[in-house]
Amino acid sequence: MDIGVIAVANQKGGVGKTTLAMNMAAGLTRRGSCIVVDADPQRSATMWTELSDSLREFPAKVVPAEDEIKKQIIQLQTEFDYIVIDCPPEIKSDSTISAMEISQVLLIPLLPSPMDLWSSTRIEELIKRVQQVNPTISAFVVLNQIEPRSAMSRGMDGALQEIDIPVLRHRLSRRASYRTAALEGCSVYDLGYRGQVASEEIDNIIDELAQ
Ligand SMILES: Nc1ncnc2c1ncn2[C@@H]1O[C@H](COP(=O)(O)OP(=O)(O)OP(=O)(O)O)[C@@H](O)[C@H]1O
Ligand SMILES: [Mg+2]
């Protein structure tokens, strides 16, 4: 699958959009050139890189989304192999919709809690809406903050099967290293052995998408 332009979005806040976007970008810089477009007015992706020190800089550049984001991305495509767009926790904004118009992949982080799964009907609406403007986009739910050592409840698995959206086989566990990377302005790839398992999780997601 072509994964050149990846949008990370969910109308819900705090589900791991920026965490996934930033670590995916770090993983993609190991396979080619990559840039993050920060489309969230909260500017969390931009602030993330501002926390890094000169010894350990964030491996990808982050630029703010411009008013004409589509034009901006087409321009960036001439320079970068991969573009990751961190979207705000709402989808009605013009910039989010325009970003999705030219993305190849839409990743929707989802927490495996009942409340978040109940909101998944809204995710189906989100995808329908996106597919109206971009019929060829590939959309996937990415489960985030899975407890590493506890199996997902059967109820949760059942609820997931009812969602009419592809769910990536690989998931992100709840790990301190994801928080540490954000606090230190780096990615899980830059944490040495502390980030090893997490960076394998990100690599697995990239491989699953790229295959
Ligand atoms: N897999 C994980 N393991 C541990 N902590 C995580 C994980 N994913 C996200 N977090 C933490 O959860 C919080 C929310 O994550 P994040 O900021 O990425 O979500 P978001 O969807 O971008 O939020 P917003 O809607 O505000 O933009 C952060 O403190 C982040 O460090
Ligand atoms: Mg965010």
The whole domain housing 46 covers 5-205
Q: Is the pLDDT of residue 80 over 90?
A: yes
Q: Which of 32-36, 100-104, 129-133, 158-162 bottoms out in mean pLDDT, i.e. has the lowest?
A: 158-162
Alpha carbons 84 and 86: distance in angstroms, whole number: 7
* Domain membership flag for residue 142: yes
Query: How close is the Cα of 104 to the center of ligand 2, in Å?
Result: 20
pLDDT for res 8: 96
Cα(118)–Cα(94) distance, integer angstroms: 26
Q: Containing H/E element for 109?
A: strand 105-110
195 inside domain: yes
The predicted pLDDT at position 162 comes to 79
| Residue 181 CA to ligand 2 centre (angstroms) | 14
| Mean pLDDT, residues 74-78 | 97
Atom of ligand 1 nearest to the CA of 175: 3
Query: What distance in angstroms lies between residue 78's CA and the mean position of ligand 1's atoms?
Result: 31
Residue 182 sits in a domain of what CATH number?
3.40.50.300
Looking at the domain assignment, is residue 138 inside a domain?
Answer: yes
- pLDDT over 70, % of the chain: 100
The reported pLDDT for the residue numbered 94 is: 77
Q: Which atom of ligand 1 is nearest to the CA of 19?
A: 18
In ligand 1, the atom with minimum distance to the C-alpha of 145 is 1
Q: Tell me the best of 11, 17, 19 to mutate to test the pocket of ligand 1, counting ligand atoms within 8 Å of each CB and taking the most.
A: 19
> What is the pLDDT of the chain when averaged over all its residues?
91
Q: Is residue 210 part of a domain?
A: no
pLDDT score at 18: 98
Q: What is the mean pLDDT of residues 183-195?
A: 96
Nearest CA to ligand 1 atom 8: 16
pLDDT of residue 156: 75
**Is the pLDDT reported for residue 57 higher than 90?**
no
Q: Is residue 126 part of a domain?
A: yes
Instruction: Report how far ligand 1's centroid is from the alpha carbon of 15 (Å).
Output: 6
The alpha carbon of 19 and the centre of ligand 1 are apart by a number of angstroms equal to 5
pLDDT of residue 157: 77
Residue with tokens 């398992």: 197
pLDDT at 163: 77
Residue 211 inside a domain? The answer is no
pLDDT of the residue at 141: 93
Average pLDDT score over residue span 98-109: 93
* Residue of the CA atom closest to atom 14 of ligand 1: 14
- The stretch 64-81 carries a mean pLDDT of 96
More confident of the two residues 146 and 92: 146
Cα separation values, 11 from 21, 44, 100, 166, Å: 15, 16, 14, 18
Which bound ligand lies closest to the C-alpha atom of 91? 1
Would you state the pLDDT for residue 42?
95
Q: What is the DSSP string of 77-106?
A: HTT-SEEEEE--S-S-SHHHHHHHHT-SEE
Residues 6 or more apart in contact with residue 34 via CB below 8 angstroms: 25, 28, 60, 80, 81, 82, 83, 84
Beta-bridge mates of residue 153: none
- Structural domain includes residue 175: yes
Ligand 1 atom closest to residue 22's alpha carbon, by position in its atom list: 18
What are 120-161's pLDDT values in tens digits?
Answer: 777 888 888 889 999 999 999 999 999 877 777 777 777 778
How many domains does the chain contain in total?
Answer: 1
